[in-house]
Amino acid sequence: MLNIIQLLPDSIANQIAAGEVVQRPASVVKELLENSVDAQAKTVQIIIRDAGKSLIQIIDDGIGMSETDARMSFERHATSKIRSSDDLFRIRTMGFRGEALASIAAIAQVELRTRRSDSGRGSDELGTLIRMEGFELKTQESVSCLPGTNILVKNLFFNVPARRNFLKTNSVEMRHILDEFQRVALAHPEVAFSLYHNDSEVYNLQAGKLSRRIVDLFGKQYREQLASCEEETPYVSVRGYIGKPEFARKTRGEQFFFVNSRFVKHNYLHHAVVGAYEGTIQDGFHPFYVLFIEIDPSHIDINIHPTKTEIKFDDERSVYAIVMAAVRKAVGVYNLTPSLDFDANVNFLPVTPLPRRSSEAQPVTEPEPRNRSALRPMSPAWSAEASEQKANTGFDFPRKSAANWQALFEGLEPTEKPATEETNLFENRSSAEKPSETESVTLGSRVNKLVTSTVALEGTGAIIQVHNRYLVTSVQAGMLVIDQRRAYERVLYDQYQAALTKRNGVSQQLLFPKTVTVMPVDYNLALELRDDLTSLGFLFDEIGQNAFLIQGVPALSVGENEEELFANLLAQLREDTGRLKLERAEVLARSLARRSAARQQKQLAEPEQRALVDQLIASTNPSYTPNGEPITTILALDKLAGLFRS
């Protein structure tokens, strides 16, 4: 019987090893930047072409390498940092040449020029040139070059076409490169970095303090929101900057943890930071922070993931508590939390406070309503008001509401479980199928085949709004509850989808155009999606590096801050594109609908309530949001009765 276990050839073994380290061009940028930092470079230049697919070049002024070290750096398991197994648990450096270069050389064409500088190890008059191709040495010779290291990585995955085919578009790959660049640049503000993509300057960061590095990376507007955070303990120290609560965003991506100057992802510690903001930011919002944690390397394990972005602490609870305390103290020191007023009646804030030194009771005054119009009786003839509401909200309010829309619920059994794809509350209907005032509406749903009972709205079908969040009405089976924000999201999504499909989105011209500055990755994203953004109603021109002049916004978004709308939409789109495996137009419609719907948790007049329900029924899927969240639910009579049983 023949033996079946064989040793792999070096070429295949190297490609397998490269797969763990090099997943995309951003992986190469990360490894080479960390090598430059470890080489004590003070200035690092990055040149990218075609999002790193055709060229990645890193030039640094570090200590460089001798001829022997340069050749050895391409060998597998070669390193200058580890001499024994104990060194694995005392690593404070970012990477080492032999870890990255061997893997990169296995799947790319690599050219290395290096020369030792006068750094105490001696200097060389000539440098070394090495060319590698698919881990095969092509050239090694002495050349004249500047001190430091200049490495070119060409045609990534040229010998592994299957891997190359799995790379994303240039904009997506460039976004990943910028993410890695930002992390290394934040971790080392004492190093000057510059980044060029296709001969265009993206970043030119001068060496300086961390606060300046944050502003240079993310924009001048961050100068106003930074608050220093620092805590020293014998076990761990925390330092860095947090953002003020009023600058918290609904999108994540600007939260950075560095452990011993190495970027890590740690949901447990993120929970600690968010917990420190409790009571100061809304649910679903995320604060900005750049926090550095210094700890003895013997207390952590960084080798649980090939990219070393995940980490374990030997005492996570202590680190959690210290991080939370540090952030909470920073929030308090900078007066970010509301101060407690012990004279105020916490249950009725507008009420006149009681006197401190007198036993005589003060008369209680009723608070003045903020919106006097909310106390006025509603006129039955609301067509004029509907026109005004349309101008404010962008929604069409029908003059004749569908009187029989409650018949859509015929044949529904009450259930305590959320509706599924098999039991949607509504059948998909096109706008052409809207019911007339006298026409009886019935629903051809599969649910109607299962039951014969009738669920109809009682009385006049009045709608009640609860806490500006839910619309409630009675049906024969119990109580129908509609999530107001999600209903808006579904209606808006359908309208944005139609605008993208027909390329006929309505734009509201701005009387005074607004200037907005965005991050480089968002700038490139906006240029790539210009046609789709224009179809939605955005009109803008580029006026400089990472800056746009906004001249028009979608008519459905009138009333929002135009600069925030545009910038936050791009940030949301960037996050959703990486998370959702969908077409760009689909992600754009979802992102803008969710963004616009977030501001719809407000008091609605009766015509607005009716119009929202009517448009929800006419939507493509009234039961679910584009992300699959349920919009409606029925509280059954028996469940309601059970709440009152003793």
Q: Point out the domain boundary residue: 176, 208, 240.
A: 208
Residue 241: pLDDT above 60? yes
Give the confidence band of 87 by pLDDT, cuts at 50, 70, 90: low
Q: Is residue 347 part of a domain?
A: no
Indicate the average pLDDT of the chain. Answer: 76
505-558 pLDDT tens trace: 788 888 888 898 888 888 888 888 888 888 888 899 988 778 899 998 888 776
CATH of the domain at 608: 3.30.1370.100
Residue 435 lies in a domain: yes
Is 368 within the bounds of a domain? Answer: no
Q: Which of 299, 333, 367 is the last residue of a domain?
A: 333
Q: What is the mean pLDDT of residues 598-614?
A: 85
Q: What is the pLDDT of residue 90?
A: 56
Pairs from 329-335 (Cβ < 8 Å, separation ≥ 24)? 329/229, 329/231, 330/227, 330/228, 330/229, 330/230, 330/242, 331/227, 331/242, 331/245, 331/276, 331/277, 331/280, 333/227, 334/227, 334/228, 334/244
567 touches 516 (CB < 8 A): yes
Q: What is the pLDDT of residue 590?
A: 85
Residue type, 523: Y
| pLDDT 10s digits, 120-136 | 555 688 999 999 988 78
Does residue 480 carry a pLDDT above 80? yes
Residues near 585 by beta carbon (within 8 Å), at least 6 away in sequence: 500, 532
For residues 194-216, one letter each, b for 16 or more C-beta atoms within 10 angstroms of the residue's C-beta and e for the rest, the string is bbbbeeeebbebeeeebbebbbb
Q: What is the mean pLDDT of residues 29-54?
A: 93
Considering the domain architecture, whether residues 463 and 612 belong to the same structural domain is answered as: yes
Residue 170 and residue 267 share a domain: no
In this structure, the number of other CB atoms found within 10 A of the CB of residue 170 comes to 19
Q: Are residues 428 and 565 in the same domain?
A: yes
State how many domains the chain has: 3
Q: How many CA atoms lie within 13 A of 188 on its CB side?
A: 22
pLDDT of residue 146 exceeding 60, the answer is yes
Torsion sign over Cα 170, 176, 182, 184: negative
> Hey, what long-range contacts does 334-343 have (CB within 8 A, 24 or more apart)?
334/227, 334/228, 334/244, 336/227, 336/244, 336/245, 336/280, 337/279, 337/280, 338/279, 338/280
CB atoms within 10 A of CB 466: 10
Euclidean distance between the first and the last CA atom of the chain, given in angstroms as a whole number: 77
Q: How far is CA 264 from the centre of its chain?
A: 17
Q: Which residues contact 466 (CB under 8 A, 6 or more apart)?
A: 472
Residue whose token pair is 């930071």: 273
- Helix (H) or strand (E) holding 224, with range, is none
CATH number of the domain that residue 22 is part of = 3.30.565.10
Please report, for residues 141, 316, 420, 640, the alpha-carbon distance to residue 636 in angstroms, rounded to integers and kept in the order given.
82, 45, 17, 6
For the chain, percent of residues with pLDDT exceeding 70: 71
Per-residue pLDDT reduced to its tens digit, 336-391: 444 333 343 333 333 334 444 444 444 444 344 434 333 333 433 334 444 444 44
Distance CA 122, CA 109 (A): 30
At 576, which helix (H) or strand (E)?
A: helix 562-579
Residues 152 and 233 in one domain: no
Q: Is residue 203 domain-shared with residue 215, that is, in the same domain?
A: no
Residue that has been written with the tokens 């013997």 in this structure: 298
Give the number of residues written for the chain: 646
- The span from the CA of 547 to the CA of 405, in Å, is 48
Q: Where are the beta strands (DSSP E) in 445-506?
A: 464-466, 470-475, 478-483
Query: Which pLDDT belongs to residue 307?
Result: 60
Identify the band that residue 15 occupies on the pLDDT scale cut at 50, 70 and 90.
low
What's the rounded mean pLDDT across residues 199-225? Answer: 90
| Pairing label, strands 200-205, 192-197 | antiparallel
Domain presence at residue 393: no
Q: Does residue 394 lie in a domain region?
A: no
Q: Do 121 and 89 fall into the same domain?
A: yes
Q: How much is the CA Rg of the chain, to the nearest whole Å?
A: 31
pLDDT of amino acid 362:
43
Residues 584 and 451 in one domain: yes
Please, which pLDDT band fits residue 170 given cuts at 50, 70 and 90?
A: confident
Displacement of CA 233 from its chain's centroid (Å):
32
Residue range 442-454: average pLDDT? 33
State both tokens at 574. Answer: 């960037």
CA 260 to the chain's CA centroid = 25
| More reliable by pLDDT, 627 or 488 | 488
What pLDDT does residue 1 have?
Answer: 55
- Does residue 457 sit in the same domain as residue 547? yes
Residues 237 and 144 in one domain: no
Q: Are 218 and 178 found together in one domain? A: no
Q: What is the pLDDT averaged over residues 18-36?
A: 85
* pTM for the model: 0.64
Together in a domain, 171 and 226:
no
pLDDT of the residue at 567: 84
Beta bridge partners of 323: none
170 and 304: one domain?
Answer: no
Burial class (CB in 10 A: 0-12, 13-18, 19+), 338: exposed
Q: What is the mean pLDDT of residues 391-396?
A: 47
Residue 576 vs residues 252, 393, 571, 587, 589: alpha-carbon distances, Å: 10, 26, 9, 7, 11
d(CA 533, CA 527): 9
Of 192, 208, 224, which residue sits at a domain end? 208
Structure token digits, residue 455: 């669920």
Please report, for the domain that includes residue 234, its CATH number: 3.30.230.10
Predicted pLDDT at 80: 58
Q: Is residue 338 part of a domain?
A: no
Greater confidence (450 vs 505) lies with: 505
Is 380 part of a structural domain of the chain?
Answer: no
Whether the CB-CB separation of 121 and 63 falls below 8 Å is answered with yes
Q: Please write the tens of the pLDDT for every residue from 277-326.
A: 887 887 778 899 999 999 988 888 776 555 667 788 888 899 999 999 99
What does the pLDDT average to over 35-45?
Answer: 93
- List residues bridging with 137 in a β-sheet: 132
Q: Which two tokens stand for residue 625?
A: 């949001």
Asked if 265 contacts 54 with a C-beta cutoff of 8 angstroms, the reply is no
Please give the pLDDT value at position 477. 80
Burial of 256 (0-12, 13-18, 19+ CB in 10 A): buried
Q: What is the pLDDT of residue 443?
A: 37
641: in domain: yes
H helices present in 376-460, as ranges? 383-393
Three-state SS for 15-46 is HHHHHHHCCCHHHHHHHHHHHHHHCCCCEEEE
- Its domain, for residue 163, covers 10-208
- Phi, psi torsion values for 217, nearest 5 degrees: -80, -45
d(CA 195, CA 49): 11
